[in-house]
Amino acid sequence: MTSSLANEQNQYDEWLKNKPREIILSPKTVSKECLVNSLNGPLFLVNSLNFLEITNFDILTKIDSKISQLNNLTNLVLEGNKLKSIPGT
């Protein structure tokens, strides 16, 4: 991981620890690598989250099932990614 990417990741992780109510992620605001790392765990620990927007990532085809832990979510936007459906688990 490059130093700039490491810095970005650290800043992002610190921000998540503040339990924000809104998270908006797009290629304009965060790198793909940072997004992938976030979706592997830390994001879904922010159970204070009301608004989550992840848009226009062509690499985004998977989100962890832990999204169901965000039980205070009122607005979810996953527009413009590469998501596909699967049979029920």
Partner 1 sequence: MNYIFLDELGNLTKLKYLNISRNEIDSLPDLLFEKLICLQTLNVEQNKLKTLPNMSKLACLISLKCGSNELNQFPNSLCEKIRELGGSPVPIFEGGTVHLSEFNASHNKIQTLPGIIERLVALKSLDLSFNQIETIPVQLANCAKLKELNLKHNPIKDRRLYKMIEQCAPKKVLDYLRTNLPTKNNTDNKGEDEELSDFRKKTDDQDKFTVRLQFNSEDKFVVLVSKLIADQRKIAACIIHQMDLSNGKMLKKFLAIQTSNG
Name the site residues for partner 1 (rule: CB under 8 A): 61-65, 67-68, 70-89
Residue 7 Cβ, how far from partner 1 at the closest point, in Å? 27
Smallest distance from partner 1 to CB 4, Å: 26
Nearer to partner 1, 16 or 78 (CB): 78
Nearer to partner 1, 2 or 87 (CB): 87
Question: How far apart are CB 9 and partner 1 at their closest, in Å?
Answer: 21
Question: Which helix (H) or strand (E) covers residue 77, if one does?
Answer: strand 75-77
CA distance 79 to 46: 21
